[in-house]
Amino acid sequence: MPICYIGCDAPTAQQIISNPEFSGKEVLEVEFPITATSLQIDLLIVGPKIDHLIRLAATISDWNIPPVALLILPEATFAEEVENLSHHPRVGRSIFFCKDTTESVQLGLQEIYAFHSKRDSLELDNSLSGNFNLNNISPRWLFQTMMEHLDEYIYFKDNNSRFLAVSSYLVESCGKSDPSEIIGQTDFEFFDAEHAQEAYEDERKIAYGESKELNKEEHILMEGEHVWVASRKLPLYTRSNYLAGSFGLSRDITEQKELNQELEKNHQRMEAELLLARNLQSALIQDSVPTFVNSTGDSALEIATEYIPSFHLSGDFFSVNKTTSGGAAILIADVMGHGVRAAMVTAMIQIAVNELHAYAEQPAEFMMRLNSMMHESMHASGQTIFATASYCYLDLESRQLSYIQAGARHGIYTPADAAQHSRLFNDKKIGPALGLLAEVEYTEDYIQLNRQDEIILYTDGVIEAAMNEEEYSEARLLSFLEKHRNDDLPQMIAGLIESVQCFTDHKDMEDDVCLIGLRVQ
């Protein structure tokens, strides 16, 4: 049992330490502040050096576990001070008094020790009082500190929605200078009628036990200013578990609300701009491809395409053009990344394809010039961005396909003969991706096609579509094409998309997808 003393002169301190009642006990001299310390003080002796005795007595009377205290008072003012302290409403019954004489101090020490011993022998359960804190703290002090210093609207109300206690921040926000100007009033005296009525109805539900908790955002008019608050209200129960009203905290979220509204406006504006960009990009993507016929007027080449952007703007691109001699020039490209940057590069590629039409029948020259144009633009912008691509030229008279690959493989050859396997384009002649290097020489490769042979060009949105960590892969793509060779070409392309979606168990594609199917007639 720690016995503590404070504000005592040397003789009084010695008398306390040598008191026979305290023999074998720990006696400590303490200093301010003694509130909210980890030391559990059971007996406290306060010497005559301490001023503001009423404040100190009220403080220790408010402690969660009030100690038995002895106040040593000057003999000259003893009667007056005892009168004031004894009748003060904030001073508890465990406060005792004595004069600053040796005899009086001795009697006082005996009295407080006897009182403490009797109380201690009762083994009272302090938790029954509703207090669970072990330190020497005053719940009233903690509450008052919170109410005075937190920038929050904190309030307690009775069952008729009249204020019982309010925070200083709420007082100031209502244009008042003291809580007494608000306590006993309702919201109708300080806020707009609509908000006051809504708050009253909410608190009625809490007061009648219809609602156990309320969380909402509220718009209020306070002192002519529009304010948004996030409110949480709960039932206010007494320690005897009677429903006495409600209490709550409302946080000013006006700045956050205005910021969110501005962000929403910007988001809507960006959505509109992205939609416009999407429409412009869609206009660049071919919605139909040229018709290729032979000398007798019959179809010489069947073509099917599928283009699925994963986002507003895509980084995939394709073009199918007829050359001056009637051959087919096909480009498929996959730009690094997504969004605006990738879309701008696809637009650049579209412009370059049109400008390079004269080189359409020369794949190596075409790709060399396309790479130079992209590198020049990318280097000037200071951005590191590139595109992988495959360019094919098909001479329909000789049925010879010549192709260039840049940065990655994008093509598969599927013979019409079921005895032969589908095979990937040759990966030994893949050149650098477009836009990375200033000068690149690309090497052509060739495939001699027969009637009903198929060429499938694809971007990595197909083969890299994944379920967990497993990708659809080129192996599954090859297997699908072999299984469905000679099927109706548009249906085969649509079936391939369904196969990928079934594999990932997801309708939407995580990456842009571009597919071109060619079949020699």
Give the pLDDT confidence of 312-346 residue by residue, as tens digits.
677 888 999 999 999 999 999 999 877 777 778 88
293 and 204 in a common domain: no
491 and 374 in a common domain: yes
Report which of 48, 44, 52 is spatially closest to residue 16, judged by C-alpha positions.
44
Report how far apart, in Å, the C-alpha atoms of 63 and of each of 27, 95, 407, 472 are. 20, 13, 76, 70
pLDDT class of 128 with cuts at 50, 70, 90: low
User: Is 276 part of any domain?
Assistant: no
The mean per-residue pLDDT over the stretch 168-192 comes to: 93
Q: Which of 22-26, 68-72, 107-111 has the lowest mean pLDDT?
A: 22-26
The parent domain of residue 41 ranges over 3-129
> What CATH number has the domain bearing residue 481?
3.60.40.10
Mean confidence (pLDDT) of the chain: 90
pLDDT tens digits for range 338-356: 777 777 888 889 889 999 9
Rounded Cα gap, residues 477 and 465, in angstroms: 11
Last residue of a domain, one of 213, 241, 256: 256
Report how far apart, in Å, the C-alpha atoms of 365 and of each of 7, 218, 334, 374, 397 are. 99, 67, 20, 14, 22
What DSSP assignment string belongs to 237-298?
E-TT--EEEEEEEEEE-HHHHHHHHHHHHHHHHHHHHHHHHHHHHHHHS-SS---EE-TTSS
Q: Which long-range contacts (CB under 8 A, 24 or more apart) does 216-220 make?
A: 217/253, 217/257, 218/250, 219/195, 220/191, 220/192, 220/195
User: Is 135 part of any domain?
Assistant: no
User: Is 106 part of any domain?
Assistant: yes
pLDDT tens digits for range 220-250: 887 778 888 899 999 999 888 899 999 999 9
User: Is 346 part of any domain?
Assistant: yes
Question: Which tokens belong to 487?
Answer: 């099927």
Rounded Cα gap, residues 12 and 98, in angstroms: 12
> What CATH number has the domain bearing residue 175?
3.30.450.20
Angle between helices 10-17 and 102-121 (to 10 degrees): 40
Q: What share of the chain is helix, strand, coil (3-state, %, to 5)?
A: 40, 25, 35
Higher pLDDT residue, 168 or 337? 168
> What CATH number has the domain bearing residue 96?
3.40.50.2300
300 and 250 in a common domain: no
379 and 304 in a common domain: yes
Last residue of a domain, one of 256, 291, 324: 256
Which pLDDT does position 370 carry in this prediction?
Answer: 96
167 and 31 in a common domain: no
Which pLDDT does position 463 carry in this prediction?
Answer: 94
State the CB neighbour count (10 A cutoff) for residue 507. Answer: 7
Question: Which tokens belong to 243?
Answer: 């429903």
Question: Which tokens belong to 44?
Answer: 């406290």
216 contacts 206 by C-beta, under 8 angstroms: no
Which pLDDT does position 404 carry in this prediction?
Answer: 97
Which pLDDT does position 369 carry in this prediction?
Answer: 96
User: Is 77 part of any domain?
Assistant: yes
Report which of 508, 507, 520 is spatially closest to residue 454, judged by C-alpha positions.
520
State the CB neighbour count (10 A cutoff) for residue 105. Answer: 22
**Angle 315-329-492 from CA coordinates, rounded to 5°:** 70
320 and 175 in a common domain: no
Q: Which long-range contacts (CB under 8 A, 24 or more apart) does 444-447 make?
A: 444/363, 444/364, 444/402, 444/403, 444/404, 445/402, 445/403, 445/404, 445/405, 446/400, 446/401, 446/402, 446/403, 447/400, 447/401, 447/403, 447/413
Rounded Cα gap, residues 395 and 106, in angstroms: 120
40 contacts 16 by C-beta, under 8 angstroms: no
Indicate the number of domains in the chain.
Answer: 3
Q: Which residue has the tokens 């011993």?
A: 117
Q: pLDDT > 90: what percent of the chain?
A: 63
Q: Which long-range contacts (CB under 8 A, 24 or more apart) does 370-373 make?
A: 370/434, 371/406, 371/432, 371/434, 371/435, 371/437, 371/440, 371/442, 372/438, 372/439, 373/348
Q: Per the confidence metrics, is the pTM higher than 0.85?
A: no
Q: Phi and psi at residue 396, in whole multiples of 5°? A: -70, -20
299 and 191 in a common domain: no
Identity (one letter) of the amino acid at 239?
A: R
158 and 125 in a common domain: no
User: Is 304 part of any domain?
Assistant: yes
Buried b (16+ CB within 10 A) or exposed e, 48-74: beeeebeebbbbbbbbbbbbbbbbbbe
Which pLDDT does position 287 carry in this prediction?
Answer: 72
pLDDT tens digits for range 20-44: 989 888 999 998 888 887 788 889 9
pLDDT class of 132 with cuts at 50, 70, 90: low
Rounded Cα gap, residues 447 and 394, in angstroms: 9
User: Is 114 part of any domain?
Assistant: yes
Report which of 344, 289, 281 is spatially closest to residue 519, judged by C-alpha positions.
289
240 and 344 in a common domain: no
User: Is 195 part of any domain?
Assistant: yes
Rounded Cα gap, residues 37 and 63, in angstroms: 11
437 and 392 in a common domain: yes
Please give the DSSP secondary-structure letter assigned to residue 88: -
Which pLDDT does position 257 carry in this prediction?
Answer: 87
346 and 402 in a common domain: yes
Higher pLDDT residue, 284 or 315? 315
77 and 164 in a common domain: no
Rounded Cα gap, residues 190 and 517, in angstroms: 73
